[in-house]
A = this chain, B = another copy of it.
Amino acid sequence: MTAPFSTFGAFSACLATLPAADGAARDAARARDAVLTKPPGALGRLEEVAIWAAGWRGERPRAERAQVIVFAGNHGVTAQGISAFPAEVTAQMVANFETGGAAINQLCKVAGADLSVVPLDLEHPTADFTTAPAMGEEECLAALNAGWDAVSPDYDVLVVGEMGIGNTTSAAALAAARFGGTGADWAGAGTGLDAAGQARKAAVIDAGLARHPGTSGVRALAALGGRELAAMAGAIVRARELRIPVLLDGFICSAAAACLTAEAPDALDHCLAAHLSHEGGHAKLLKAMDLTPLLSLDLRLGEGSGAALALPIYRAALACHSDMASFADAGVAEKS
């Protein structure tokens, strides 16, 4: 199935009928967890993750095959001087991804994950959201559909990441549209703004919010987002249709994902927060989304880097659950 969405209404309708987790598989996994050769609860968060994954992948889930997709887009709002790096870096970094020189390339190698890079019309930046919607409906749907199409059913777990100079500004605007607050509440340093730069960025976000009041969900993605943000949202929904768990990366990925819960509160039930980013608004955003990150290592790179870093943790959780011996199998005495 390709390019399934030709209107925002069609996308919203899809969000209203997402598949649910399999409660029976979770119960079976919980029962299995209780007889594995370890004190009850001794694997902590790993046990919770494995039981959660069973709801999407069955009683003994696995995560050998991991797909990482990095979407790239350019942002008209960079005209407002809200990034420490020039806009041409987006395309330069895409070339770096393609030749294997970026952080995400090394992280995918370590994690044994397959990397796809999807540049989205880089030569045509989105509109400056302080003066117009970043994207029209057709443009936004093209990006959503590109995200949907990029997800392969052949994997056990998905990471979506992004590259786009200026996109922490879009993400902060989306977070404010979703959860309230002003530009100053959500603007961070991005790739390295100083305090004056962050103040300018906050004002730009406020201008965007004033220009597009009351927007939410997929319409917010179009008005304040960007192609790579819409693509991540499309990929996350496609993964849900395929019952493939998603590890959410940092602030930008989380902000794109948060737009989905404005339309369907359970839209991210198949997602875990891979890490807490150092980027200003991320802790607040995860809290608003009721997500607890697996890692907290002060990363703030994007590219899917924090989620790719968490892949081996996720895989380890599932491997322990699915492959450990039970007390009975191993002839180990239980708690006295």
Residues of chain A whose beta carbon lies under 8 Å from any beta carbon of chain B? 36-46, 84-86, 88-89, 92-93, 95-96, 99, 101-103, 105-107, 109-111, 191-192, 278, 294-301, 305, 309, 312-313, 315-316, 319-320, 323-325, 329-336
- 30 intermolecular pairs with C-beta atoms under 8 Å apart: A38-B103, A38-B301, A39-B84, A39-B85, A39-B192, A39-B300, A41-B300, A43-B103, A43-B299, A43-B301, A46-B297, A85-B333, A86-B333, A92-B333, A93-B332, A95-B331, A99-B330, A102-B330, A103-B320, A103-B324, A106-B316, A106-B320, A106-B324, A110-B316, A294-B297, A295-B295, A295-B313, A296-B296, A309-B313, A313-B313
- Distance in Å: Cβ of A92 to nearest Cβ of chain B: 4
> Number of copies of this chain in the oligomer?
2
Contact, CB under 8 Å: B86 / A336? yes
* Separation of A210 and B299 alpha carbons in the complex (Å): 47
Contact, CB under 8 Å: B191 / A110? no
Contact, CB under 8 Å: A297 / B313? yes
Question: Which residues on the B side are within 8 Å of A103 (C-beta)?
Answer: 36-38, 43, 320, 324
- Distance in Å: Cβ of A124 to nearest Cβ of chain B: 20
The verdict on A298 contacting B44 (CB below 8 Å), with A86-B336, A316-B110, A316-B309 known, is yes
Which of B85, B95, B278, B335 meets A85, CB within 8 Å?
A: B335
Give the 10 A-B CB pairs with smallest separation, nearest first: A101-B325, A44-B298, A312-B312, A45-B297, A39-B191, A42-B301, A106-B319, A92-B332, A96-B330, A110-B316
Question: Which residues on the B side are within 8 Å of A330 (C-beta)?
Answer: 92, 95-96, 99, 101-102
The verdict on A101 contacting B191 (CB below 8 Å), with A84-B335, A298-B44 known, is no
Contacts beyond the supplied A96-B332, A102-B325: 6 A-B pairs with Cβ under 8 Å: A42-B301, A44-B299, A46-B297, A86-B333, A96-B325, A109-B323
Contact, CB under 8 Å: A331 / B102? no
Q: Name A93's closest neighbour in chain B (CB-CB).
A: B332
Q: Name A102's closest neighbour in chain B (CB-CB).
A: B37
Which of B95, B107, B316, B333 meets A88, CB within 8 Å?
A: B333
* Separation of A36 and B192 alpha carbons in the complex (Å): 15
Contact, CB under 8 Å: A329 / B101? yes
* Separation of A324 and B294 alpha carbons in the complex (Å): 25
* Separation of A110 and B312 alpha carbons in the complex (Å): 7
Question: Which residues on the B side are within 8 Å of A40 (C-beta)?
Answer: 192
Which of B89, B191, B296, B309 meets A42, CB within 8 Å?
A: B191
- Distance in Å: Cβ of A200 to nearest Cβ of chain B: 14
Which of B37, B44, B46, B101 meets A37, CB within 8 Å?
A: B101
Contact, CB under 8 Å: A300 / B336? no
- Distance in Å: Cβ of A271 to nearest Cβ of chain B: 18
Q: Name A278's closest neighbour in chain B (CB-CB).
A: B44
Question: Which residues on the B side are within 8 Å of A102 (C-beta)?
Answer: 37-38, 324-325, 330
Q: Name A89's closest neighbour in chain B (CB-CB).
A: B333
